[in-house]
Amino acid sequence: MTEQSDEFRVTVADRERHASGPARELALDCVTAGIEAAHPKRVVADALSLNDGKLSVAGVDDETATYALDAYDRVLVVGAGNAAGHFAAAVEELLGDRIDGGAVVTDDPVETERISVLPGDHPTPSEAGVESAREVREVAAGAGEGDLVIGLLTGGGSALLAAPAEGIGLDDLRETTAALLASGATIAEINAVRKHCSAVKGGRLARAAAPADVLGLAVSDVTGDDPAVIASGPLSPDPTAYADALGVLDRYGIDAPAAVTDRLERGAAGGLAETPNPSDPPFDGDGVDVEIVASARTALDAAREVAAARGYEPVVLSSRVRGEAREAAKTHAAVAEECRATGEPVEPPAVLLSAGEVTVTLGDDPGEGGPNGEFALSAAAELDASGRDSEGIAVASVDTDGIDGATDAAGALIDDRLVGDGPEATLGRDAAAAALDEHDAYPLLDGADALVRTGPTGTNVNDLRAVVVGGRVAGSEASGSRSEGTK
């Protein structure tokens, strides 16, 4: 059996300043532990093993798939995503010379020997990404009946695996992608459009690889971990149709380029072949399998272990939080306040954990920031530190890929003293409200030294949040017991 090192650590700029108190330090440690647990190097060490020529894959669903590699003529690797380069390097370390070649596209390149790591851009596709996606497709299409194609899919793959369908140009794809990202549409809705504008998404990469066997290994960045949504499902049958894609454009009032709408309308009218569904080749047999090897639950489990080890009671609120970042933050703040005031749903000291994907619906002239920064600022504006008799509340909200929106920050770390009316507050309530209304959280949080910067992390399981509710301060009336009648 091949042994692997699973060492990987997240580096946070100005960590000492951020971790200025117990609650703040724990919030930061919880989210960084989650990111580290979801890094492909750690994931491959935990989920994949090679023994006597047999590759075993343990998915997050506790099922194990086994592939006898010696039975194949060749093993080829394809893939795409923010973490695809790191994923490829880890798989190379495990399989070594059993890999006969391959190509992945990413925006975070690493050194590899057998798998070509090709450039692309995220979140808006680029010319480099288009060329790289074509090379990935060529590797898949060159596979034969006796080959195994291993597909490495991670968050960001939808933008990075940019192979426009016939009749659609790169500028058309860019304009449509930008409008979708600004619309507030869910990732599933965005990907329904992307699939029907692509030569590889929506199961078309698996179709290109047929008749080879295909094993997809996915690090999920989508709520629900649906492989048809991760990276727009290049190795999965597509449950959506051209009509669904048109419905998304209509629902969000998106005025897409004529080339895009013309294609979708022709497809909806039956003039173009649909993306393959589960009853179509190559999905009508057992030659294609996609295993989820890491997800938001991977990060949440690691964060929960850190909280418990520090003597805090961890509670996972949900791995599927979605909707407007500003509104989701209000709910998290309300639960934290209830916890502090009444001991429900858990007695402090406690850590409330959540994951998922919050969004921001932008107006005509948006400011600078990302969903996690907006979540953090909204939470800070809700929390009240006045008269507190505890260690306080701290909130860390990050995108696990290290890039919140299109900023250079992963997200932000705040506490209940950041925003307020008193002299202890760093930011006034009016300033916070104005920044939220203008979707301009980044400059305000930057000025308050609240932004968390990690750089690209090498992974992506979407958003991760830790809300730390500190214990009672020794000597306070409610110390050691649940407060009653507290307002």
pLDDT recorded at residue 471: 81
The answer to whether 219 and 83 have CB atoms below 8 angstroms apart is yes
What is the pLDDT at residue 4?
Answer: 40
From residue 473, alpha-carbon distances to 151, 176, 364 in Å are 52, 53, 47
- Please determine, for residue 192, whether its predicted confidence score (pLDDT) is greater than 80: yes
Query: Which helix or strand (DSSP H or E) is residue 466 part of?
Result: strand 463-469
Q: What is the mean pLDDT of residues 140-157?
A: 96
Strand partners, 289: 215
Q: Distance between CA atoms of 215 and 286, rounded to whole angstroms?
A: 11
- Domains, the chain, ranges and CATH? 39-163+198-240+275-294 (3.40.50.10180), 297-469 (3.40.1480.10)
Does 63 have pLDDT greater than 90? no
Q: Count CB atoms within 10 A of the CB of residue 278.
A: 12
| Residue 291 confidence (pLDDT) above 80 | yes
- Would you state the pLDDT for residue 364? 75
Mean pLDDT of 426-430: 94
Residue 1: what pLDDT? 35
Q: Pick the residue with more confidence: 61 or 54?
A: 54
- Give the residue from 347, 369, 343 showing the smallest Cα distance to 358: 369
Calpha distance 161→156 (Å, rounded): 9
Query: DSSP characters for 63-122?
Result: -EEEEEGGGSSEEEEEEESTTHHHHHHHHHHHHGGG--EEEEEESS----SSSEEEE--S
Average pLDDT over residues 68-81: 97
- Tell me the average pLDDT of the chain: 92
CA nearest to 240, candidates 225, 228, 252: 228
Of 1-15, 263-277, 300-314, minimum mean pLDDT range: 1-15
pLDDT in tens, 94-119: 999 999 999 999 999 999 999 999 99
CA distance 143 to 302: 38
pLDDT at residue 406 above 60?
A: yes
> Which of 109, 131, 103, 106 minimizes the C-alpha distance to 121?
106
Q: DSSP 3-state assignment of 302?
A: helix
478 pLDDT exceeds 80? no
Q: What is the pTM of this model?
A: 0.88
- The residues that bridge with 51 in the sheet, in sequence order, are 54
- Band of the pLDDT at 487, cuts 50, 70, 90? very low
DSSP annotation string for 414-437: EETTSB-SSTT-SB-HHHHHHHHH
When pLDDT is cut at 50, 70 and 90, the band that residue 5 belongs to is: very low
Residues in a beta bridge with 316? 353
- Cβ 410 vs Cβ 435: under 8 Å: no
Q: Of 132, 130, 158, which Cα lies nearest the Cα of 357?
A: 158
pLDDT above 70 covers a percentage of the chain that reads 94
pLDDT digits over 303-348, tens only? Answer: 999 999 999 999 999 999 999 999 999 999 999 999 999 999 999 9
- The answer to whether 482 and 347 are in contact (CB under 8 A) is yes
Digit-coded pLDDT (tens) for 116-132: 999 999 888 899 999 99
Quick one: the chain helix, strand, coil %, rounded to 5? Answer: 35, 20, 45
What pLDDT, on the 0 to 100 scale, is given for residue 373?
A: 98
Most confident residue range from 131-145, 180-194, 462-476 = 131-145
Closest to 446 (Cα-Cα) out of 472, 423, 413: 413
Q: How far is CA 365 from CA 171, 183, 251, 368, 440, in A?
A: 21, 13, 21, 10, 10
Q: Stretch 159-163: mean pLDDT, rounded?
A: 91
Residue ranges of alpha helices (H) inside 109-186 are: 127-141, 157-160, 170-183
